[in-house]
Amino acid sequence: MSTAQRPVFGVPVRRAPSRGRRLLTRPSTPAFVGVLVALVVFGAQAPQLVGTGGLASLLDAAALIGIGAVAVTLLLVAGQFDVSIGVLSVASSVTAGLLVSEAGWGVWPALAASLVGALAVGVVNGLLVVLTGLPSFLVTLATFLVLQGGTLVVAQSVAGTSLVDRVEGAAGWPSAEALFGSGVALGGGRFRISILWWLAAVVLAGWLLRRTRFGNAIYALGGSRRAAREMGVPTASTTVALYLLTATAAWLLGTLALVRQGGVPVAPEFGDEIEYLVVAVIGGCLLGGGYGSAVGAAAGALLYGTVRTGIDIAGWESYSFQVVLGVLLVVALLANGVARRRLTAVPRS
Amino acid sequence: MTGPERVGPERVGPVEGQEPLPFPESTAGLPPVAGAPVLELRGVTVRYGSVPALDRVSLRLVPGTVTCLLGENGAGKSTVVQVVSGVRRHDEGELLVDGRAVRFRRPRQARARGIATIWQDLAVIPLMTVWRNFWLGDEPTRGIWPFRRIDLAVAREGAARALARVGLPDLNVNQPAAALQPGQRHSLAVARAMHFGAKVLVVDEPAAPLTVAQHALVLRTVVSARDAGLGVLFVTSTPGYAHLVGDRFVLLAGGRVAADLTREDVDVDGLTRLISGGEALATLTAELRRSS
């Protein structure tokens, strides 16, 4: 076959962008810059932040928000959202807790049962989104309401309490605590195992997104649903699989909380989902879908943890955290808007 | 060339001074018998709920010829494209490839049977890189599940090689498709359609008004594919351009075949009149006369 010149209407080949320029257009770059700025600002006010104690609590805060954020990032890249993830994590920890304290199950069977329950919710979410074709925000809002009310009703009628405890000491507790609740004392801080779970989630999500056909399907779904369908990307199964992953992340968050505290307050409230969403956007996700990265979500979570711990240690009024988070969100939305315009600007022929 | 004899004064021949697009002749197998259709629709019906989008549509694609599918918006052109390329299943009737009845469940099956489609929107996703776009829905992988992953080296090289064959030898396949010129995007869609070896090319022309240069690009693709011996289905709403390249003209109206004409049957003006509702206008005039 010949490679002879053929007019392609316009400049045939554009110069490849330089390495530095590519680094600047990565979705995670602004968040990493933010982490550096936050470390400098709060480090000047409260030097303990960069000590081992500060780092340990910084990373713990980042890990818990980061696991949710990385799941939300996968959904956002596919152009979806899940309002029920925070409540699902509470519901699954309450389920596991009640099975241990009321039904006398071992810890591991209870955790397995709550995982199955969470996955069932994920399947329902995914199927509803696929079958109705409605915005996932509305569909998962329905799941959120059912889970919120259902958790309270069940906890009240079964245990008659708003606090599930007496989980410690049940069969299998030591191994569960080693896996979900342990930590390593290093210097003045206790580095918790949640950090490892977070890293694992980020690595897995990053690998899925960048290296697998599933990841390509996720980008395609968010980038153009029509094109994805035309090219035979399995849109329905990809969507359901995504909600299964989100449900698993919610279960992991619930389990980490349950094992760490040896119990869990039955307080399924709205709010966690929004923080995951904010962190994902700070990490460079476009709300319209089709763009974002796992590393970006990690950077966003790191920024969240730094600011939250920094405000804590520096002794600021705790509500000022929300102010800072709001400002960060606006900056992120503006920066992402610029990135999007630059990426999608179609050169005229 | 094995197609039927062509007549008509403005017929576009092979483009001079142009390398033909790399439609691999070998994939068509043995030289096709003249007139034997490579793809045929027999009384195909597709329903959305109870409303038929296609009503007993029949259509034949012969190797080395261009069949133009014409009609207004909503006449069912896109549904034909969807059925032929495996995006939508037909409810009744038969879809035959090389004389054998098939029923595609997904686009991959259509592609495997040698049916390549260039979609209206080109099915190019701006935020994804060129190589990811190229392999979309059919990425080369290695390893076994759950460690199966995209073979990056094979994917990048394969995309670059296929793009070089359509005249984009030095294209950076790692840039987002948004950075491509419109012509390059079209070439990407052509390269992708042809990659798996095609014997049928479906070209769905964008409904939005195109520039002359863009029209030329589409028509050149159609002509090159025809000259390579493919059966071409050219879906368009512009009768002038259709008549430049077409051997056969199938008019759809309300999901039915309203007319099935050859070049001998109709000239450009006749075709234009048929499509732009000349028939409807005549009926309307008669109705008005009768009532007055």
Say what the pLDDT of residue A100 is. 93
CA distance A23 to chain B (A): 13
**Average pLDDT of the residues in B106-129:** 92
Say what the pLDDT of residue A349 is. 36
A19 touches chain B (CB under 8 A): no
- In terms of domains, do B272 and B158 share one? no
CA distance A272 to chain B (A): 29
CA distance A308 to chain B (A): 33
Domain-embedded: residue A230: yes
Cα torsion at A214, A215, A216, A220 (round to 10°)? Answer: 100
Q: Label residue B29 by pLDDT band (50, 70, 90).
A: very low
Query: Which residue among A14, A212, A233 places its CB closest to the CB of B136?
Result: A233
CB contact under 8 A, B187 and A8: yes
Say what the pLDDT of residue B162 is. 94
Provide, as residue numbers in chain B, all residues whose Cβ is less than 8 Å from the Cβ of A224: 121, 123, 125-126
Interface test with A, best of B128, B132, B168, B172 (most A CBs within 10 A): B128
Cα torsion at B88, B94, B95, B97 (round to 10°)? Answer: 150
More confident residue, A215 or B51: A215
More confident residue, A26 or B137: B137
Is residue B86 within 8 Å of residue B109, measured between CB atoms? yes
Domain-embedded: residue B10: no
Provide, as residue numbers in chain B, all residues whose Cβ is less than 8 Å from the Cβ of A346: 126, 178, 182
Domain-embedded: residue B76: yes
Domain-embedded: residue A29: no
Query: Which residue among A211, A231, A346 places its CB closest to the CB of B107?
Result: A231
CB contact under 8 A, A14 and B108: no
Which residues 67-96 of chain B have a CB within 8 Å of chain A?
85-87
Domain-embedded: residue A2: no
CATH for A119: 1.10.3470
CB contact under 8 A, A227 and B123: yes
A14 touches chain B (CB under 8 A): yes
- In terms of domains, do B250 and B155 share one? no
The pLDDT tens digits along chain A (349 residues) read 343 334 444 344 445 556 666 666 677 888 899 999 999 999 998 888 888 999 999 999 999 999 999 999 999 999 999 999 999 999 999 999 999 998 999 999 999 999 999 999 999 999 999 999 999 999 999 999 999 999 999 999 988 877 888 888 888 999 999 999 999 998 888 999 999 999 999 999 999 999 999 999 999 999 999 999 999 999 999 999 999 999 999 999 999 999 998 888 888 888 888 999 999 999 999 988 999 999 999 999 999 999 999 999 999 998 999 999 999 999 999 988 887 787 766 544 3
Q: Is the pLDDT of residue B30 over 60?
A: no
Q: Which residue of A has its CA nearest to B108?
A: A232
Provide, as residue numbers in chain A, all residues whose Cβ is less than 8 Å from the Cβ of B19: 2, 4, 6
- In terms of domains, do B72 and B105 share one? yes
CA distance A37 to chain B (A): 29
Say what the pLDDT of residue B6 is. 43
A330 touches chain B (CB under 8 A): no
Least confident of A30-39, A232-241, B184-193, B201-210: B201-210
DSSP letters, A263-321, are: SEE----S-HHHHHHHHHHHTT--TTSS---HHHHHHHHHHHHHHHHHHHHHT--TTHH
Say what the pLDDT of residue B5 is. 45
Say what the pLDDT of residue A342 is. 74
Cα torsion at B248, B253, B257, B262 (round to 10°)? Answer: -20
**Average pLDDT of the residues in B4-20:** 49
- In terms of domains, do B149 and B251 share one? no
- Cα angle vertex A270, ends A268, A273, to 5°? 110
- In terms of domains, do B281 and B149 share one? no
CATH for B285: 3.40.50.300
CA atoms of B172 and A64, how far apart (whole Å): 39
- In terms of domains, do B280 and B143 share one? no
DSSP letters, chain B, are: --SPP---TT---SPTT-PPP---GGGG-SPPPTT--SEEEEEEEEEETTEEEEEEEEEEE-TT-EEEEEE-TTSSHHHHHHHHTTSS--SEEEEEETTEEE--SSHHHHHHTTEEEE-TTTT--TTSBHHHHHHTTS--EES-TTS-EE-HHHHHHHHHHHHHHTT-TT--TTSBGGGS-HHHHHHHHHHHHHHT--SEEEEE--SSPPPHHHHHHHHHHHHHHHHTT-EEEEE-S-HHHHHHH-SEEEEEETTEEEEEEETTT--HHHHHHHHTTHHHHHHHHHHHHHH-
Q: Is the pLDDT of residue B284 over 70?
A: no
More confident residue, B50 or A204: A204
Domain-embedded: residue A349: no
**Average pLDDT of the residues in B215-231:** 92
Look at chain B and report how many structural domains it folds into: 2
Residue A140: give the domain boundaries.
46-339
Query: Which residue among B125, B164, B182 places its CB closest to the CB of A9?
Result: B182
What ipTM did this prediction achieve? Answer: 0.88
Look at chain A and report how many structural domains it folds into: 1
- In terms of domains, do B167 and B107 share one? no
- In terms of domains, do B120 and B247 share one? yes
- Cα angle vertex A284, ends A282, A286, to 5°? 110
Q: Categorise residue A23: left if φ over 0, alpha if ψ from -120 to 50, beta otherwise.
A: alpha
A16, two tokens: 């490849």
A345 touches chain B (CB under 8 A): yes
CB contact under 8 A, B128 and A7: no
Q: How many CB pairs under 8 A join A and B?
A: 138
Q: Is the pLDDT of residue B14 over 60?
A: no
- In terms of domains, do B173 and B201 share one? no
Query: Which residue among B172, B174, B183 places its CB closest to the CB of A8?
Result: B183
- Beta carbons within 8 Å of A72's beta carbon, 6+ residues apart: A81, A82, A85, A246, A273, A276, A277, A279, A280, A297
Q: Is the pLDDT of residue B11 over 60?
A: no
Percent of chain B surpassing pLDDT 90: 57
CB contact under 8 A, A344 and B187: no
CB contact under 8 A, A219 and B125: yes
- In terms of domains, do B116 and B143 share one? no
Q: What average pLDDT is seen over chain B?
A: 85
CA atoms of B116 and B113, how far apart (whole Å): 9
CB contact under 8 A, B184 and A10: yes
Phi, psi of A186 (to 5 degrees): -140, 115
Provide, as residue numbers in chain B, all residues whose Cβ is less than 8 Å from the Cβ of A344: 126-127, 178
Interface test with B, best of A230, A291, A348 (most B CBs within 10 A): A230
- In terms of domains, do B283 and B211 share one? yes
Residue B95: give the domain boundaries.
36-124+196-291
